[in-house]
Amino acid sequence: MDSCVFCQIANKKIPTHFVFETAGIVAFKDIKPSAPVHYLIIPKEHVKSVAHLNETHDAIAAELIFAARDLADKLGLKGYKLVFNVGSEGGQVIDHLHLHLLGGWNNKTDIDAMPHPRLDK
Ligand code: 5GP
Ligand code: ZN
């Protein structure tokens, strides 16, 4: 989709360093990190969100999760968070499916506060 920034990244129209690429997905650093380590893993196909996945997307959905796990391992992260924001009410800003890989915190307060503010603060 021409107007979609993540399609443009996946199609290499916006130059972006990929830390991982297969026929179906790419992974790259988030431009405005919300954690010390913050990567995005996206399908090359334009799918709006988790809410728009159907049975043709089984392999892609699995590949996103395995790629995030493998990237976290490569980065030496012992623990991390994997987040899909779904729809504007779920905090999704870019309407192209993406999995956030978040990690690298070194204290429990920061770990607990991410990826959303604690309700009991
Ligand atoms: P969302 O809120 O939609 O789940 O997350 C979108 C994420 O994409 C945000 O964390 C934002 O910083 C990141 N982002 C938005 N535009 C770009 C871009 O052009 N390049 C990269 N690398 N990240 C982007
Ligand atoms: Zn797109």
Cα separations (Å) of 105 from 28, 36, 68, 73, 78?
Answer: 19, 6, 17, 15, 11
Q: How many CB atoms lie within 10 A of CB 19?
A: 15
pTM of the model: 0.96
Residue 95 counted as domain residue: yes
| CATH number (domain holding residue 30) | 3.30.428.10
Best residue for ligand 1 mutational test, from 6, 93, 116 (most atoms within 8 Å of Cβ): 93
- Mean pLDDT, residues 14-39: 97
Which structural domain, as residue segments, surrounds residue 23? 5-113
Domains of the chain: total: 1
Going from the Cα of 32 to the center of ligand 1, the distance in angstroms, rounded, reads 7
Residue 118 counted as domain residue: no
* pLDDT, tens only, 54-89: 999 999 999 999 999 999 999 999 999 999 999 999
Q: Which residues sit with their C-beta closer than 6 Å to ligand 1? A: 5, 16, 28-32, 40, 85, 91-94
Q: Are 18 and 28 in contact (CB under 8 A)?
A: yes
Residue 45 counted as domain residue: yes
